[in-house]
Amino acid sequence: MRTFWGLVLGVLLFFPGTVLLQWITRSLGLYQNLTLTEACLVIIMVLATVFVVQHRSLRAAGAEDQERRGRQAAGSRSRSYGADARPSGRQDSRRDRHQ
């Protein structure tokens, strides 16, 4: 099903997309004779830019998530060891009350 929707999107980007891009550039006076090849290259560049931006933001979010997981794992390890994990050697006061 993804392949089908990918083909539909590709055809929609190609035919109406290139014609629309040619019309916009001609109307705004940016580029008078935008060929089909140039319009396709512009669409490819825009899609590649979107992909790069999404990929970078996902990598940044993944790195933040990985850091958060690492901090949580480090916190759970120190809590599981109790007084033995403390460098000063002091015991937990809650532990003393129950003993």
**Percent above pLDDT 70 for the chain:** 75
- Report pLDDT for 90: 56
* Cβ(65)–Cβ(43) below 8 Å: no
For the whole model, what pTM was predicted? 0.55
Q: What is the pLDDT of residues 28-71, one digit of tens each?
A: 998 889 999 999 999 999 999 999 998 888 888 777 777 777 77
**pLDDT exceeds cutoff 70 at 92:** no
| Helix and strand counts by DSSP (H, E) for the chain | 3, 0
What dihedral angle (degrees, nearest 10) is formed by the CA atoms of 6, 10, 12, 15? -160
Nearest-angstrom CA–CA distance, 4 and 8: 6
Q: What rounded mean pLDDT belongs to the chain? A: 80
**pLDDT exceeds cutoff 70 at 2:** yes
Element (H, E) at 12: helix 2-28
Residue 88 DSSP one-character state? T
**pLDDT exceeds cutoff 60 at 81:** no
Closest-CA residue to 45 (of 6, 5, 16, 17): 17
